[in-house]
């Protein structure tokens, strides 16, 4: 069965490529505003389902995988920064503190639907102004929720509890299991 990744994220493409030798990419074209949805788990699950349903509506014979990731800190989602100054502010807020990363995912296929939410708790190193300035100047935080990537070098992350690939944007272990459940992986 043909698999479509409903995301333009290069990090999600990289993770899925470790599981599947061939798939295509078709970014979803749906509303990603989620005011009033509630908990972070419900938020990411709802947005991932919307994305999958959008792409599946145009490709009903395929298996469509979509995901949505948020960094949750002090009761709010930290999205992608609008600019370098916003990235620096977010990094200062997270410095030396703990937050959660949630990824909701949805796999729609003619065989049915699999969905889930993965949570990983992340603790930041105390970040100096010099580190923040250099990291922001590198451009690395500008396209990432929470203004960082756990995989970046040097990483602002001191440690984590849960799935590493969830923080990268796609929980590889859960996706592999879902692909097995619908018969795409052995």
Residue positions annotated with a catalytic role: 68
C-alpha 58/C-alpha 7 separation (Å) is 15
C-alpha 164/C-alpha 99 separation (Å) is 14
CB 25 within 8 A of CB 45: no
C-alpha 56/C-alpha 97 separation (Å) is 39
Measure Cα distances from 110 to 40, 85, 128, 131 in Å.
28, 45, 51, 48
C-alpha 18/C-alpha 172 separation (Å) is 9
């Amino acid at each position: 069965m043909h698999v479509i990744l409903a995301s333009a994220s290069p990090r999600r493409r990289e993770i899925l490529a470790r599981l599947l030798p061939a798939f295509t990419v078709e970014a979803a074209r749906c509303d990603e505003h989620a005011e009033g949805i509630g908990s972070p788990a419900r938020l990411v699950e709802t947005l991932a389902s919307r994305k999958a349903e959008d792409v599946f509506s145009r490709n009903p014979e395929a298996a469509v995988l979509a995901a949505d990731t948020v960094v949750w800190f002090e009761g709010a989602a930290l999205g992608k920064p609008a600019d370098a100054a916003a990235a620096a502010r977010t990094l200062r807020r997270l410095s030396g503190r703990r937050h959660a990363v949630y990824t909701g995912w949805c796999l729609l296929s003619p065989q049915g639907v699999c969905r889930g939410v993965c949570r990983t708790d992340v603790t930041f190193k105390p970040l100096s102004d010099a580190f923040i300035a250099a990291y922001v100047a590198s451009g690395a935080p500008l396209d990432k929720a929470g203004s960082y990537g756990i995989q970046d070098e040097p990483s602002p992350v001191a440690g984590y509890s849960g799935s590493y690939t969830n923080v990268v944007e796609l929980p590889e272990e859960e996706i592999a299991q879902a692909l097995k459940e619908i018969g795409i992986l052995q």
